[in-house]
Amino acid sequence: MTLDRRNFIKLLGGASSLALAACAGTGGLSGPTGGRRVVVVGGGYGGTIAAKYIRMMDSSIEVVLIERNDHFVSCPFSNLYIGGLMKDLSPLTIKYDKLAANHGVKVIQAEVTGVDAATKVVKTSTGDVTYDRLVLSPGIEFRTEEIKGYDMATTPEIMPHAWKAGPQTVLLRKQLEAMKAGGNVVISIPLAPFRCPPGPYERASMIAMYLKQHKPGSKVIILDANPDIVSKKGLFLKGWKKHYDGLIDYRAAKKVTEIDTRGMAVLVEGIEEVKGAVINVIPPQKAGHIAHVAGVVGTDKKWCPVNPMTFESTLHKNIHVIGDSCVAGAMPKSGYSANSEAKACATNIVNAMNGKELIDFSGINTCYSFLSAKEAVEVTGVYKVDKGAIIAVPGSVGVSPDLSETEAIYAESWLKNILTEMST
């Protein structure tokens, strides 16, 4: 048999992925790095982009991406699934094989359990990995200790948060489907800052849309710890009036401090009891667990302070933090922000490794929200560094003038593009 070009390449691809699996299994990345290895933790909105862009800008730098799962499910658009607009989560799911094949990113499926900043070693469930620079994009963890009765292992199975997409998203949808008509759905929103400021209000819209069609007599009760709707207030109120009048009972300044999973109730400030047939408790948030382990969380014990240009931790040299876990000045915690931060971080890591001048940050945030099956709105802004902090460029930040079908069409394309960026 002759080996033609295409088969030869196939063989090569096969061989290299085998080699990868082997070195992942034996922890074969604990040796010397040659001074040019970047390890990225977390294959979500921030991590995939940092890994890909470093390789695109300088393929002589070795990039190892460590992620606990073999796939990633996007939170953006998961509210549409919860509302019944999507059959399954496949349009929201990406894999990592093309990042490896197209860009030579070494992908390791493992749990990162420790970081030794002094010796520059990352500890994982499959062995140690040495780094020259480390990028953490681990997303969020929950401050469950602030809710009495909340148990991280069991509570989400009864009162799903669905604030990390995947099985939790599916569970919340199933609970809604199983709910008897007339039952109430309670959504509790934590104090800002949290991942995706407009997310909870989009969720309320999508759930109300489902109830309106399928559960006569049911409504959504929003218990918001914040003094008011955090994002796109005018647009949400307009959409709710237009489509879900009487179906969304919004209650401001109602902080849930205790839960009762047996009685299916939550307690506001420990006294006012609110019952629900389905209860979606979105707990208050902090940087991903591994950021705490690595010692890069600030004095607030929640988020990671970083240099606004390089996203290097102000607490540990050679460790960079991007995405929801970091404090990026005026930028909200969103997938689009994580995408922009990752690119700036990648640019300056490459420049620093090559002894080149560092470049100031320029980034964008966009967040689309659906109000109904066909209408969306968005908030958008351009961000830059001024006097050592990330600020919004004056005049660039704003929201859609109205609910818009055109924006819904563009929103779907946004999702397609950003997920394609992350996975190819």
Partner 1 sequence: MTMKWSGWALATGVLAVSAMAQAAPPTAAMLSNACAGCHGTHGGSAGPSMPSLAGQSDKAIVDAMKKFKSGARPATVMGRLAKGYSDAEIAAMGEFFSKQKLHATNQTLDKAKIAKGASLQEANCGRCHLEDGKEGKDDTPAMASQWLPYMQIQMADYLSGKRKMPEQMQEKVKPMSKADLEALLHFYASVK
Ligand X SMILES: Cc1cc2nc3c(=O)[nH]c(=O)nc-3n(C[C@H](O)[C@H](O)[C@H](O)COP(=O)(O)OP(=O)(O)OC[C@H]3O[C@@H](n4cnc5c(N)ncnc54)[C@H](O)[C@@H]3O)c2cc1C
To 5 degrees, how large is the angle CA 186–CA 337–CA 115? 90
364 contacts partner 1 (rule: CB under 8 A): yes
In the complex, minimum distance from the CB of residue 225 to ligand X, in angstroms, rounded to a whole number: 16
Cα distance between residue 396 and residue 301, in whole Å: 32
Piece of the chain touching partner 1 by CB under 8 A; list 15-23, 27-35, 62-70, 355-363: 355-363
Cα distance between residue 289 and residue 287, in whole Å: 6
Quote the tokens at residue 399: 């929201």
* The binder of ligand X chosen from 24, 29, 42, 150 (CB under 6 A): 42
Cα distance between residue 146 and residue 385, in whole Å: 34
Site string for partner 1, 371-410 (x = CB under 8 A): -------x-xxx-xx-------x-xxxx-x---x-xx-xx
Instruction: Give which of 78, 249, 39, 246 is closest to 170, Cα–Cα.
Output: 78
414 contacts ligand HEC (rule: CB under 6 A): yes
What values do phi and psi take at 56, rounded to 5? -65, -35
Query: Can you say whether the dihedral through the CA atoms of 145, 146, 150, 152 is positive or negative?
Result: negative
Residue list 119-138, contact with ligand X (CB under 6 A): 137-138
Q: Which is nearer to ligand X, 158 or 364 (CB)?
A: 364
Which residues 6+ apart lie within 8 Å of 339 measured at CB? 45, 46, 49, 418, 421, 422
Residue number of the CB atom closest to ligand HEC: 366
Cα distance between residue 263 and residue 243, in whole Å: 31
From the list ligand X, partner 1, ligand HEC, none, partner contacted by residue 404 (C-beta under 5 to 8 A by kind): partner 1
381-387 long-range contacts, CB within 8 A, separation 24+: 383/328, 383/329, 383/330, 383/331, 383/340, 384/360, 385/308, 385/309, 385/360, 385/361
Instruction: Give which of 350, 292, 415 is closest to 53, Cα–Cα.
Output: 350
Site string for ligand X, 290-329 (x = CB under 6 A): x--------------------------------xxx----
Count residues near partner 1 (CB under 8 A): 52
Quote the tokens at residue 91: 């349009």
In the complex, minimum distance from the CB of residue 183 to ligand X, in angstroms, rounded to a whole number: 22
To 5 degrees, how large is the angle CA 222–CA 224–CA 226? 160
Site string for ligand HEC, 359-398 (x = CB under 6 A): -----x-x-------------x------------------
From the list ligand X, ligand HEC, partner 1, none, partner contacted by residue 352 (C-beta under 5 to 8 A by kind): partner 1
Piece of the chain touching partner 1 by CB under 8 A; list 185-193, 203-211, 274-282, 306-314: 306-314
Burial label for 71, CB within 10 Å (0-12, 13-18, 19+), is middle
Residue 375, helix vs strand vs coil: coil
Please give the residue ranges that form the binding site for partner 1 (CB under 8 A): 53, 307, 309-310, 312, 314-317, 336, 339-340, 343-344, 347-348, 352, 357-364, 366, 378, 380-382, 384-385, 393, 395-398, 400, 404, 406-407, 409-410, 412-414, 416-418, 420-421, 424
Please give the residue ranges that form the binding site for ligand HEC (CB under 6 A): 364, 366, 380, 410, 414
Please give the residue ranges that form the binding site for ligand X (CB under 6 A): 41-47, 66-69, 72, 75-76, 78-79, 111-112, 137-139, 163, 195-196, 199, 203, 288, 290, 323-325, 333-336, 338, 367-368
